[in-house]
Amino acid sequence: MKFMLIRRADTNTENGVMPSQELLADMAAYNQRLTEAGVFLGGDGLRPTSDGCLIRFDKGTPTVIPGPFSPPSERIAGYSVLEAPTLEEAIHWAQQWPTQDADGNVTLELRRFFSLEDFEPGAGIEQHRNLARVPDAMNVHVAFPGTCREAMQFYADVTGGQLECLLTYAETPAAEHVPTTLHDHVIHASLNLRGRRLMGADMAADCYTPPQGVEIQLEYQDIEQAARTFAQLAEGGKIVMPFEATFWSPGFGMVTDRFGVGWMVNVPSENCPSATEGDAP
């Protein structure tokens, strides 16, 4: 089940009072615990309603009403999206909200998302089911020639992701079907990057093929962070294209790291037209 955990606004949030460094650290630690438990799907804080507006429709005609709006307690200051098997589990996590926030005087609202199964069959819901063909996630799996553990720990250090699994052959039923030389090698590793996963495994020498024609793409809004990540991936590796401004990006580079895995590090730009723009091919 998917839930939205809503942090109601208050006078401070509506007046644009920024959170302290202590609160930011507490919230980061809280989100980290949620991530490690596989509960956290995402979330953000919202600027005051004075920076927003209402769009109100009257008989189909929209009217834009600039903020601010009152009372603050009826507004939203931020939200988190959680994945939990039950409402009780979601409540359990909500009750661990950092008490540093507003000195422990916070109102949270927990709401469950609708799913397609909640609606009666019909032509309208079938259109939504058609949209649901898009997978819930697309992850990357990389094969290694015995260096999976070292590589995945390196990637965790570089990206700050959560290394949520490092499972050896010896720890699975596959142990009796592979040579003992593989027992301490990794059969499954998973690095969680904001809900997307880089997975990997060690392969026997006669089964391993170095990756070709494919790169893992990392995207950063912060160009300085993108440059730091690129530099770390390049240590001991080979730079294919230096990290620099291009016609499509203020910062882009390609590198093959010391484990033979190719990477693209990119800062997005609004200069790339969508596939629907211009003449059809």
What pLDDT sits at residue 59?
A: 96
The CATH topology of domain 212-276 is 3.30.720
- pLDDT tens track for 5-31: 999 999 999 999 999 999 999 999 999
The architecture (CATH level 2) of 138-209 comes to Roll (3.10)
- pLDDT tens track for 142-167: 999 999 999 999 999 999 999 999 99
Tokens read off for 184: 């301490």
34 by Cβ neighbours in 10 Å (0-12 / 13-18 / 19+) ranks as buried
What pLDDT sits at residue 272?
A: 58
What pLDDT sits at residue 281?
A: 42
d(CA 110, CA 90): 8
Q: Running along the chain, 281 residues long, what does each successive block of 10 average in pLDDT?
A: 97 96 96 90 94 96 95 95 96 97 96 94 91 85 97 97 94 92 96 92 91 94 97 98 96 97 94 53 42
The architecture (CATH level 2) of 2-54+69-114 comes to 2-Layer Sandwich (3.30)
Share of the chain above pLDDT 90, in %: 84
Domain ranges of the chain: 2-54+69-114, 138-209, 212-276
